[in-house]
């Protein structure tokens, strides 16, 4: 009985080792596929945000992708998800997307236009204020200084509405990163 167990163990180990070598040799025979011309021009990036305090928490995740048509022009899309909570006061969930165009007249300067549409869902705790759910658009024009993959600048919301906007005012600073 003990000899059968040892023989079975040897067979199992031999099978695993042989399978490993066969898999390795097959993987080496297939060179990695070349990226298509389209994917060579796609760049990914986005933004992250986190803010905490004694009674406040806010987190944002905003991935995006652009297609680089040439050295000066790119066009892309982005998603935005934000959660805010102020203890015993309110919470809000903000979800939406955007379309962005970037133009670099020279390598160091980046001009941008971006249309953003966000759904805002606010819940108020222990207050006479009614919960709200609404859509808010934003149309940004902006400019920034670009170095390598990073652009730092400011943008202005042409559709800013201080009663609905998720931003404190129409001028919004930004840091953009694309790889």
Residue among 17, 107, 89 nearest 53 (CA): 89
In residues, how long is the chain? 179
Residues 58-106: tens digit of each pLDDT: 999 999 999 999 999 999 999 999 999 999 899 999 999 999 999 999 9
Helix (H, G, I), strand (E, B) or coil at 111: strand
CA gap 106, 143 in Å, rounded: 12
Task: Please check the confidence at residue 36 and state whether its pLDDT lies above 70.
Answer: yes
What is the CATH class of 37-177?
A: mainly beta
Instruction: Write b or e for each residue in 10-21: b if 16 or more Cβ atoms lie within 10 A of its Cβ, otherwise e.
Output: eeeeeeeeeeee
CA gap 48, 82 in Å, rounded: 10
- pTM value is 0.76
Q: Answer for the pair 51, 70: CB distance below 8 angstroms, yes or no.
A: no
Domain boundaries, the chain: 1-32, 37-177
Residues 136-172: tens digit of each pLDDT: 999 999 999 999 999 999 999 999 999 999 988 999 9
Task: Please check the confidence at residue 5 and state whether its pLDDT lies above 60.
Answer: no
């Amino acid at each position: 009985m003990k000899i059968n167990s040892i023989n079975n163990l040897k067979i199992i180990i031999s099978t695993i080792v042989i399978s490993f070598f066969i898999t390795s040799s097959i993987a080496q025979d297939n060179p990695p596929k070349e990226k298509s011309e389209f994917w060579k021009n796609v760049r990914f990036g986005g933004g992250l945000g986190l803010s905490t305090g004694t009674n406040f928490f806010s987190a944002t995740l905003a991935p995006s992708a652009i297609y680089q048509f040439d050295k000066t022009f790119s066009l892309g899309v982005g998603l935005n998800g934000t959660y805010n909570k102020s203890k015993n006061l309110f919470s809000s969930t903000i979800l939406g997307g955007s379309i962005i165009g970037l133009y670099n007249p020279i390598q160091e300067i980046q001009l941008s236009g971006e249309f953003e549409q966000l759904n805002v869902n606010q819940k108020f705790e222990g207050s006479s204020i009614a919960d709200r759910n609404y859509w808010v658009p934003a149309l940004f024009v902006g400019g920034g200084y670009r170095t390598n993959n990073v652009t730092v600048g400011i943008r202005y919301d042409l559709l800013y509405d201080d009663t609905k906007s998720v931003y404190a005012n129409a001028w919004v600073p930004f840091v953009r990163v694309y790889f």
